[in-house]
Copies of this chain bind each other. A is one copy, B any other.
Amino acid sequence: MSEKDVKNMSVQSIKRLPYYLKFLKELEEKGNTYVPALVLAEYFDVYEVQVRKDLAAVSSQPGKPRVGFNVHTLINDIEHFLGYDRLKTAVLVGAGHLGSALLSYGEFEHYGLKIIAAFDSNPEVIGQKIHGRTVHAMEELEEYCDKHHAAIGIITTPADYAQQVCDQLVKAGVKGIWNFAHVHLTVPAGVLMQREDMAISLALLSNRLVQEYEDMDLSEVEE
């Protein structure tokens, strides 16, 4: 597979991979060795040709006539494509409710993400342990990230502090930011930004709800 192929894989296709992966692992647990593309297509309500295209982008196995793809090989290929088989150390900044919830989430290590420490500016939280990770003072961020080769910075601070924290993480050398704060953040070229913004999901859901169920309400105001 050339680099060009990888880069050309659509975001929508990449988004399907974690779901395929989960389903394939369930199949493997149940003792299945092969899976036909059609089974994935029907389960996820996607065209079979799309499933084949998605899988071809991440796996070089051709798939056998009638029996389909080897489940175990597909699992390994998807995990490798998504980088789950390579450990990425992360630090989390903002040890509030959401930060604590993320620290408590045991699944991240299955994705190769290991949150090794938390940081906060609140003296009452600094020094405490949250689900096994120590909360450090912000002043220690740069040295800590440098020493532990932190690749990802997770931002769970209030929106007003997020850009400042982001700048500090970038200065500390992280290669990617995972931003949970509801604010537009700027990073220099070369640093990756992934946002996880509940306000955006909620906006989509809310907009679809009012369109579907409150059309009269809408039309009253919009003439």
In the complex, the answer to whether B111 meets A81 with C-beta atoms within 8 Å is: no
Contact with B along A173-215 (1 / 0, CB 8 A): 0011010001110000010101111111111111111111111
Contact among B81, B102, B202 with A178 in the assembled complex (CB-CB below 8 Å): B202
User: Which residue of chain B lies nearest to A206 when distances are taken between CB atoms in the complex?
Assistant: B83
In the complex, the answer to whether B100 meets A203 with C-beta atoms within 8 Å is: no
B residues in contact with A219, CB < 8 Å: 3
B residues in contact with A53, CB < 8 Å: none
Copies of this subunit = 2
B residues in contact with A201, CB < 8 Å: 178, 194-196
The residue in A100, A184, A205 that gathers the most chain B C-beta atoms within 10 A of its C-beta is A205
Residue tally, chain A, CB below 8 Å to B: 73
Which A130-183 residues have C-beta < 8 A from chain B? 151-152, 159, 175-176, 178, 182-183
In the complex, the answer to whether B152 meets A209 with C-beta atoms within 8 Å is: yes
B residues in contact with A112, CB < 8 Å: 206
A110 CB → nearest B CB, Å? 9
Determine whether A18 belongs to the interface, using a CB cutoff of 8 Å to chain B: yes
In the complex, the answer to whether B22 meets A175 with C-beta atoms within 8 Å is: no
CA distance A187 to B45 in the complex (A): 12
Q: Which 4 A-B pairs have the closest CB atoms?
A: A83-B210, A194-B205, A97-B101, A101-B101
Beyond A1-B222, A83-B210, A192-B205, list 18 extra A-B contacts (CB 8 Å): A3-B211, A3-B219, A6-B218, A18-B197, A19-B184, A22-B184, A23-B184, A83-B207, A83-B214, A86-B214, A86-B217, A107-B182, A111-B202, A175-B213, A190-B212, A192-B212, A194-B204, A194-B208
